[in-house]
């Protein structure tokens, strides 16, 4: 689980960055704040009882602590169970982490359920899940067959929703073409330009290379 594909480097940090805001001055908010401040002893003290009561956000964060040995002994089995419990309640970051395991070809991941969750959330308009579904079709991982055209369709939806990673992927696909998706330099530049406008360094480098 610790060696994820390049697309998912920093995935946990990203999940935390997009986590929904939680009202201040309550044990959950304080526990999550302690987690982000790396005060794992305080985080465990506050989140442990909430996770035992079935709070999805607490289960997700406590699962991360157990998965990566953050203030607690590493315990992949317990971490996985906590994350699945949070995912079953619809907690988006927990569902995306299960999908990341599938993309990493983790044989213990619950890929059929993860795919169903991901597809439902993507269809409902979640751009992170749309980009993840595009990555699955691009790589042929996570329980789907590689399909470049389907990957492009999902990346387009995510890109139109403001996901810079999807813009960058579309720029790369159209630059050289992939399977049944033909190269289209004009589209490649358009997608790279949009990613560059959002501050993506790789897209900026690609635009410089394309103009040289």
Out of 14-23, 84-93, 185-194, pick the least confident.
14-23
Q: Model's pTM, two decimal places?
A: 0.69
Q: Which long-range contacts (CB under 8 A, 24 or more apart) does 27-34 make?
A: 28/55, 28/57, 28/58, 31/58, 31/61, 32/57, 32/61
**73 beta partners:** none
What is the dihedral sign for C-alpha 138, 92, 68, 84?
negative
Domains and their CATH numbers in the chain: 1-109 (1.25.40.10)
Summarize pLDDT for 123-172 with one digit per residue, the tens. 999 998 899 899 889 988 877 899 999 999 999 999 999 999 999 999 99
Distances (CA, A) of 136 to 10, 102, 114, 147, 154: 18, 9, 12, 9, 10
In the structure, how many helices (H) and strands (E) does the chain have? Answer: 12, 0
Question: CB under 8 Å to 190, separation ≥6 — which residues?
Answer: none
Region 20-29: what's the mean pLDDT? 67
Report the alpha-carbon angle 192-197-203, nearest 5: 35
Region 80-102: what's the mean pLDDT? 89
Distances (CA, A) of 192 to 65, 124, 126, 135, 151: 36, 26, 22, 17, 17
Helix H or strand E segment including 141: none
């Amino acid at each position: 689980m610790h060696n994820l594909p390049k697309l998912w480097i920093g995935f946990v940090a990203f999940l935390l960055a997009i986590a929904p805001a939680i009202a201040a001055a309550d044990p959950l908010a304080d526990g999550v704040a302690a987690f982000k401040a790396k005060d794992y002893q305080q985080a465990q003290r506050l989140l442990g009882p909430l996770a035992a009561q079935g709070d999805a956000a607490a289960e997700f964060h406590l699962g991360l602590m157990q998965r990566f040995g953050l203030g607690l002994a590493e315990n992949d089995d317990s971490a996985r169970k906590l994350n699945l419990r949070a995912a079953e309640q619809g907690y988006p970051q927990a569902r995306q982490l299960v999908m990341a395991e599938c993309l990493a070809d983790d044989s213990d991941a619950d890929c059929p359920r993860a795919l169903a969750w991901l597809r439902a959330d993507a269809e409902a308009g979640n751009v992170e899940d749309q980009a993840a579904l595009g990555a699955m079709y691009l790589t042929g991982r996570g329980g789907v067959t590689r399909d470049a055209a389907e990957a492009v369709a999902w990346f387009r939806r995510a890109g139109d929703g403001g996901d810079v990673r999807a813009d960058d992927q579309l720029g790369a696909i159209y630059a050289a073409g992939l399977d049944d998706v033909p190269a289209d330099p004009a589209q490649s530049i358009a997608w790279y330009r949009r990613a560059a406008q959002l501050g993506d360094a790789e897209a900026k480098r690609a635009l410089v290379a394309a103009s040289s």
